């Protein structure tokens, strides 16, 4: 460009007005990109060249029976703990919001205890429950009348202890999430529902919770992913989930790193699938929240290519 190019011409107009606008230059960005590319290259390089990763061993155990069973256990634990935890969480949230001070304090106390103490300690407590209550019985309180009496050692298996620990912990966390969702809904919704004669239960089910879902789902998705990973903690009370399965194998073969890698890769796979599911659940509860639903990744792709290749003119019959 000549130094005179932007000088006003005879009509007094700036001639640059006809030039396309160019984006600003960001030399710093290129430095950052080069740095990141370098780091990634170094990392990939070790992954490939360091023989102690023992990728063949990883491949060998990746789909072995013990590991797959561990994956199944982990999924089971996560699913049951989340479902029961969230179910109880709804009850706790409603109790907490109830005008009855006894109910709301009871809920507060529950959350206080289960959110306030470490999960690992809770798991150990459940696991050792028989030391506190040798027998567990069903009967009429304070009368000595008992219908069923079971040895706590028999009733509280490691698996049940794990479910109690994970589920009750999740209940405490999700109670707060759900309560936040419920109070985020405009009170006008409640009044409108009451004005057509809705009962409290129906109001909650049909009006408040479906709308609160938009606020509830993202943190609950977060909780689910957390739960998946926290379920590894129950390996300490000998529940044969994914980490425990990996540990059983490497305690025999001493291939510690490859088996831990197997576990990590499985966790990452499951988390990725869960994230995708969460995306679709969020999309479902977004209906009515904005003027248009966001496209699914698939629809977005199709739209992109549809425009690129002019796939189907919209007027075609």
Stretch that binds another protein, among 65-73, 141-149, 166-174, 181-189 (CB under 8 A): 181-189
Binding residues for another protein, rule CB under 8 A, total 24
For residue 290, how many other CB atoms are within 10 A of its CB? 8
Q: What are phi and psi of 44, to 5 degrees?
A: -60, -40
299: tokens are 């629809």
Stretch that binds another protein, among 43-51, 55-63, 118-126, 203-211 (CB under 8 A): 203-211
Find the binder of another protein among 211, 224, 231, 235 (CB under 8 A).
211
Can you say whether residue 208 is alpha, beta or left, with left for phi > 0 and alpha for psi between -120 and 50 degrees? alpha
Stretch that binds another protein, among 76-84, 120-128, 175-183, 288-296 (CB under 8 A): 288-296
Helix (H) or strand (E) holding 288: none
Calpha distance 225→203 (Å, rounded): 30
Site for another protein in 161-180 (CB under 8 A): none
Q: Per rule CB under 8 A, is residue 196 in the interface with another protein?
A: yes
Q: Which of 206, 248, 198, 314 is nearest to 65 (CA)?
A: 248
Q: Per rule CB under 8 A, is residue 287 in the interface with another protein?
A: yes
Residue 216 C-beta: closest distance to another protein, Å: 13
Between helices 65-97 and 158-183, what is the axis angle to 10°? Answer: 40
Find the binder of another protein among 23, 51, 116, 188 (CB under 8 A).
188
CB-CB contact of 126 with 117 (8 Å):
no
Stretch that binds another protein, among 21-29, 31-39, 195-203, 239-247 (CB under 8 A): 195-203
Where along the sequence are the contacts to another protein (CB under 8 A)? 186, 188-189, 191-200, 202, 206-207, 210-211, 285, 287-291
């Amino acid at each position: 460009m000549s130094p005179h190019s932007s000088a006003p011409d005879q009509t007094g107009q700036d001639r640059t007005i006809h030039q396309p606008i160019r984006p600003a230059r960001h030399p710093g960005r290129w430095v950052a990109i080069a740095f990141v590319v370098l780091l990634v290259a170094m990392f990939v390089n070790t992954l490939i060249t360091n023989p102690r990763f023992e990728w063949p061993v990883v491949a060998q155990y990746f789909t072995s029976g013990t590991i797959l069973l561990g994956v199944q256990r982990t999924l089971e634990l996560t699913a049951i703990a989340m479902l029961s935890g969230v179910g109880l969480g709804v009850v706790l949230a409603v109790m907490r919001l109830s005008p009855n001070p006894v109910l709301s304090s009871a809920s507060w106390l529950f959350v206080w205890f289960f959110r306030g103490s470490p999960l690992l300690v809770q798991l150990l407590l459940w696991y050792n429950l028989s030391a506190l209550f040798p027998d567990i019985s069903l009967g009429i309180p304070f009368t000595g009348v008992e219908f069923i009496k079971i040895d706590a050692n028999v009733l509280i298996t490691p698996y049940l202890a794990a479910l109690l620990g994970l589920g009750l912990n999740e209940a405490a966390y999700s109670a707060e999430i759900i309560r936040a969702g419920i109070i985020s809904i405009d009170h006008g919704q409640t009044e409108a529902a009451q004005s057509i004669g809705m009962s409290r239960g129906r109001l909650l089910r049909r009006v408040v919770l479906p709308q609160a879902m938009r606020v509830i789902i993202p943190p609950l998705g977060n909780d689910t992913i957390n739960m998946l990973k926290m379920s590894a903690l129950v390996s300490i009370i000998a529940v044969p989930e994914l980490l425990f399965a990996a540990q059983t194998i490497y305690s025999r073969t001493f291939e510690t790193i490859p088996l831990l890698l197997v576990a990590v890769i499985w966790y990452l796979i499951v988390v990725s699938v869960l994230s995708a599911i969460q995306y679709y659940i969020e999309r479902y509860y977004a209906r009515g929240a904005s003027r248009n639903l966001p496209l699914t990744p698939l629809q977005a792709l199709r739209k992109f290519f549809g425009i690129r290749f002019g796939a189907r003119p919209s007027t075609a019959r």
